Amino acid sequence: MNSQDLSIVHLVLHASLVVQLVMALLAGISIASWTAIFRKLFSIKRVKALNEEFEREFWSGTSLNDLFAAAAQNARQSGPMERIFASGMREFQKLRERRISDAGTLMDGARRAMRASFQREMDVIESNLSFLASVGSVSPYVGLFGTVWGIMGAFSGLAALQQVTLATVAPGIAEALVSTAIGLFSAIPAVVAYNRFARDIDRVAIHQETFIEEFSNILQRNLGAQAAQASASGR
């Protein structure tokens, strides 16, 4: 056996049918995994940029009504934080239109609307994470199955030989081990990406939850100021 006979391409082409099917499955999973990784990478980057842009606008002194009008006009291009703000503001205004003056009722309604919007946004942001987790946990075992099957086939073929040498054993073992290598190649990037994305998404979630609390405090202060003005004018 020369070195060319033990090249990766040669080993893949001369592997058994079952091992080749396992390799093809793992290659397809790897392509799908890398596609999901790049999509999620750009998606999280876009979410962070849109949230930071809206937060700068929110704290720049622009009135809440103007921010709400802008969010309603740019609903499709807005980020998660802006949509959360719009949900809370929309519910708050609807309750005010119904002439509900109780501050607790107004705040509870706005908070519930923002929490529901927050959960919807997080469901979208966390999409494909379970796929990466599955790839990271299952791919090595799929590759190991191909390796075991290949080794079984290699030793079955050697049973008919009277003299077994390293040259006769090496090709079959090498063909089987390629399956494990492909499984690890699929699993390792998925695991690394999953851990990275999970950490980034946790930061996004904390950032958005902090905004919900800060916006709720602003609404509560506004209600307190309006109640004080109404009480002063009624005297």
Residues 1-16 have pLDDT tens digits of 444 455 666 666 766 7
Please write the tens of the pLDDT for every residue from 144-177: 888 888 777 767 766 666 665 655 666 667 777 8
| Distance, CA of 111 to CA of 103 (rounded, Å) | 12
Closest CA relative to residue 141, chosen from 187, 194, 193: 187
CA distance 159 to 167: 15
Which residue in 141, 125, 126 sits closest to 186, CA to CA? 141
Give CA–CA dist 192/199, Å, rounded.
Answer: 11
- Cβ(154)–Cβ(172) below 8 Å: yes
User: What gap in Å lies between CA 23 and CA 186, rounded to an integer?
Assistant: 11
Report the residue count for the chain. 235
pTM for the model? 0.80
Give residues with Cβ within 8 angstroms of 46, minimum separation 6: 79
15/105: higher pLDDT: 105
Instruction: Kindly report the number of other CB atoms within 10 A of residue 87's CB atom.
Output: 21
Check whether 101 has a pLDDT greater than 80.
no
In this structure, of 6-10, 23-27, 83-87, 105-109, the range with the lowest mean pLDDT score is 6-10
Query: Which of 6-20, 72-86, 102-116, 197-211 is the most confident on average?
Result: 197-211
If we measure between CA atoms, which residue out of 221, 108, 126 comes closest to residue 229? 221
Instruction: Please count the other Cβ atoms lying within 10 Å of the Cβ belonging to residue 219.
Output: 18
Per-residue pLDDT, 152:
78
Block residue for tokens 């690394």: 192
CA dihedral 184, 30, 28, 38 (to 10 degrees): 180
Q: Measured between alpha carbons, how far is 71 from 63 in angstroms, rounded to an integer?
A: 12
Taking the CB of residue 164, how many other CB atoms lie within 10 A of it? 11
| Tokens 């905004």, located at residue | 211
The letter for the amino acid at 81 is M
Q: Which of 171, 143, 138 is nearest to 19 (CA)?
A: 143
pLDDT at 5: 54
